[in-house]
A and B are shown apart, each in its own frame.
Chain A
Amino acid sequence: MTPGSPAADSHPVYEAEDPHLAKRKFLDDAAEHVRDTGHRAFVRKALGGYYINRDTQQARYRDWEQARDAASLAKWSAVNRLDELLPKFVAAFEANGGQVHWARNADEARTIILELLRGAKAKAVIKSKCMTSEEIHLNAALEDDGYGVVESDLGEFIQQLRGEPPYHFVFPCMHVRRDEISDLFGRHLGTPPTDSPEELTMIARRHMRRLYVDADVGITGANFLVAETGQISITENEGNARLTAALPRMHIAISGIEKVVANLDDLAVLLPMLATAGAGQPMTCYNTLYAGPRQPGECDGPEEMHVVLLDNSRTAILADPEQRDSLHCIRCGACLNVCPIFKNVGGFTYGTTYQGPIGSVITPHLRGLADWNHLSGASSLCGACTDACPVRIDIHHHLLHNRRNAAKTAPNRLERLGHKLFAAVASRPWLFATGGAVFRKTLWLLKKLRLPLLGDWLATRDLPAAPAASFRSQWRARK
Chain B
Amino acid sequence: MLVSLFIPCFVDQMAPRVGLAVARVLERLGHACEFRAAQTCCGQPSFNSGYWDEARAVAIRAIEVFAGADVVVGPSGSCVAMMRVFYPQLLEGTPQATAALDLAARTFEFGEFLVEKLGVTDVGARFPHRVTYHDGCHGLRELRIKEAPRALLRAVRDLELVECDEPESCCGFGGLFSVKYPMISTAMAEVKGGSLARTDCDYIVSSDPSCQLQLDGWLSRNERKPRTIHLAEVLAGEGR
Most buried by A among B184, B213, B220: B184
Q: Is the CB of A459 within 8 A of B39?
A: no
CB distance from B51 to the nearest CB of A (A): 4
Task: Output the least CB separation between B53 and chain A (Å).
Answer: 8
| A210 part of interface (Cβ distance < 8 Å) | no
* Closest B residue, CB atoms, query A383: B141
Residues of chain B with a CB closer than 8 A to A344's CB: 184, 187-188, 191
The answer to whether A407 and B183 touch (CB under 8 A), given A340-B170, A423-B57, is no
- Report the Cα distance A463→B182, complex, angstroms: 14
A382: CB under 8 A from chain B? yes
Residues of A within 8 A of B50 (CB): 400, 402-408
- Is there a chain B Cβ closer than 8 Å to A60's Cβ? no
CB closest residue in chain A, given B193: A461
CB neighbours of B176 from chain A (8 A): 453
Chain B stretch 46-60: residues in CB contact (< 8 A) with chain A? 46-52, 54-55, 57-58
Residues of B within 8 A of A457 (CB): 178-179, 182, 217
3 A-B pairs closest in CB distance: A380-B174, A461-B217, A403-B50
B184: chain A residues within 8 A (beta carbon): 30, 34, 341, 344-345, 378
- Cβ of A10 under 8 Å from chain B: no
Tell me whether B39 and A429 are in contact (CB under 8 A): yes
A-side contacts of B16, CB under 8 Å = 467, 469-471, 474
Residues of A within 8 A of B15 (CB): 467
In chain A between 331 and 380, which residues have their CB closer than 8 angstroms to a CB of chain B?
340-341, 343-345, 377-380
Does A8 count as interface, using CB distance less than 8 angstroms?
no
A114 interface hit (Cβ, 8 Å) = no
Enumerate chain A interface residues (CB-CB to B < 8 A): 27, 30-31, 34, 40, 44, 340-341, 343-345, 377-384, 386-387, 400, 402-408, 415-416, 419-420, 422-423, 425-427, 429, 432-433, 436-437, 439-440, 453-454, 456-457, 459-464, 466-467, 469-472, 474-476, 478
Q: Which A residues are in CB contact (< 8 Å) with B168?
A: 384
Do A432 and B182 touch (CB < 8 A)?
no
Question: Would B183 and A471 count as touching, CB distance under 8 A?
Answer: no
Of the candidate stretches B5-13, B113-121, B229-237, the one touching chain A is B5-13
Question: In angstroms, how far is the closest chain A Cβ from the Cβ of B218?
Answer: 5
B182: which A residues are within 8 A, CB to CB? 456-457, 459-460
Which applies to chain A's interface (DSSP): helix, strand, loop or mixed? Answer: helix
CB distance from A132 to the nearest CB of B (A): 29
Inter-subunit contact B179/A382 (CB<8 Å): no
Query: Max chain A CB contacts within 10 Å: which of B7, B13, B182?
Result: B13
With A and B bound together, what is the CA distance between A13 and B47 in angstroms? 35
B181-A378 in contact (CB<8A): yes
Smallest CB–CB gap between B80 and chain A, Å? 15
Given A429-B37, A464-B216, also A380-B172 (CB < 8 A) = yes
Pick the most buried of A27, A40, A381: most chain B CB atoms within 10 A of its CB: A381
Tell me the bound Cα distance from A476 to B48 in angstroms.
Answer: 32
Flag if B13 contacts A461 (CB, 8 Å): no
Chain B residues, Cβ within 8 Å of A478: 20
Task: State A427–B64 Cα separation when bound (angstroms).
Answer: 11
How far in angstroms is the closest Cβ of chain A from B172? 6
Chain B nearest Cβ from A23, distance in angstroms: 11
Residue numbers in A under 8 Å from B12 (CB-CB): 433, 436, 470-472
